[in-house]
Amino acid sequence: MENPKNAAVSPQQKALQKIIWVLGAMAKLAIVVVFVFPFLWMLSTSLKTYNEAIAYPPTLLMAQPQWENFITVWNSGNYPLYFRNSIVVTLTILAIQLVVSVPCAYALARYKFRGAGLCFAIVLMAFMVPGQLTFVSIYIMFANADLLGTLWPQILPFGANAFGIFMLRQAFKQIPQEIIESARLDNGSELSIMFRILLPMAKSSLVAVTLFSFISRWNDYFWPFVMTNIDEIRPLTVAIAQLRDSENGSKWQIVMAGNVILVMPILVVYMFLHKRIINGFVYAGIK
């Protein structure tokens, strides 16, 4: 529309362009519906009775919200524990990643040392190796260490976040050398320079990395599914998956209520921080 050539077009062409624009806008809204509606359907089903859920013709709204569906889910297993496990696992991973990745990224960005290239190559390689390739070996490692009944098999394999190291390295590289030099003249120790001066300057990268990690760990089902064999260490995802296989499995309103519990924290975070989250994911994709 900003095209200067448009100034010369006839009124008919202008009308045609308007129609095309309206059709395009309608198509875009239809796409929005396609990508958002399944979540609304999840939410709506979770508040219905069974008969409402399977009624034909289907209705979007329920006669009366059935909040007890959520109570049914909550009482069908040890949900406070699953919730706690999800939170403990995710937060511990984030803490370890911060302590491990920041110094590594700092060294790779700011020091010249023998083996730096090799270290960076290992980081890049780790970036590409999926857990689906390593889970059997890692399971055996934890079995040998007698740690299978603990939360560690869900935590330790994610201690170093290759993507985070990569992204923080980029961010640290862009900080002017003078800032580091002057901090050193002030007798700052290397650790305090890193955590008190450089880290705040790389804040937006750090936030993106943290959100990315938080979302992928909270959502992960494959890894805890493979690594957990007793109820006490199960996170929310594994519990919700089992809900489906339980006696409640055919009651879609219960299954959907379980998924709402799992999805809500992420959706709320996404609503407030979608710009930063999108930046993190896009950056992870382009590198």
Partner 1 sequence: MKSDKLREKILPYLFVAPAMVFLLIFTLYPLIYMIYISFTDWTLVSKTKNFVGWENFVYIWQRADFLNALGNTFFYTFWTVLTLMVASMLFAVWLHKDTRLNNFTRTAMFTPHVIALLSVSMVWSWLMNEDTGLLNMLLQTFGLPTSRWLNSSDTAMGSIVLVSWWQSVGYYTLILFAALQGVPSEIYEAADLDSAGPINRFFRITLPMISPQVFLCLITMTIGSFKVFESIKVMTAGGPGKSTQVLVYYIYNTAFAMQFKIGIASAAGVVLLFIVGLLTILYFAFLSKKVFYQ
Q: Considering only residues 81-120, where is the footprint of partner 1 by CB under 8 A?
A: 99-101, 103-104, 106-108, 111, 113, 115-116, 119
Q: CB–CB of 59/52 below 8 Å?
A: yes
Rounded to a whole number of angstroms, the minimum distance from the CB of residue 192 to partner 1 is 13
Q: Which is nearer to partner 1, 61 or 125 (CB)?
A: 125
| Residue 47: closest CA among 74, 71, 23, 78 | 71
Q: What are the DSSP calls for 13-41, one per residue?
A: HHHHHHHHHHHHHHHHHHHHHHHHHHHHH
Q: Which is nearer to partner 1, 151 or 220 (CB)?
A: 220
User: What distances in angstroms separate CA 242 from CA 35, 70, 149, 204, one per listed residue?
Assistant: 26, 16, 18, 37
DSSP 175: S
Per-residue contact flags (x/-) with partner 1 for residues 151 to 190, judged by CB under 8 A: -----xxxxx-x--x----x-------------------x
Q: Could you check whether the bond before residue 235 is cis, i.e. omega within 30 degrees of 0?
A: no
Per CB under 8 A, does 193 bind partner 1? no
Q: CB–CB of 138/153 below 8 Å?
A: yes
Which of 215, 233, 254, 257 is close enough to bind partner 1 by CB under 8 A? 215
What distance in Å separates the CA atoms of residue 198 and residue 181, rounded to the nearest whole number? 12
Per CB under 8 A, does 47 bind partner 1? no
Region binding partner 1 by CB under 8 A among candidate stretches 11-19, 137-145, 175-183, 196-204: 137-145
Which of 130, 178, 185, 187 is close enough to bind partner 1 by CB under 8 A? 130
Q: Which is nearer to partner 1, 91 or 145 (CB)?
A: 145
Region binding partner 1 by CB under 8 A among candidate stretches 10-18, 36-44, 62-70, 72-80: 36-44
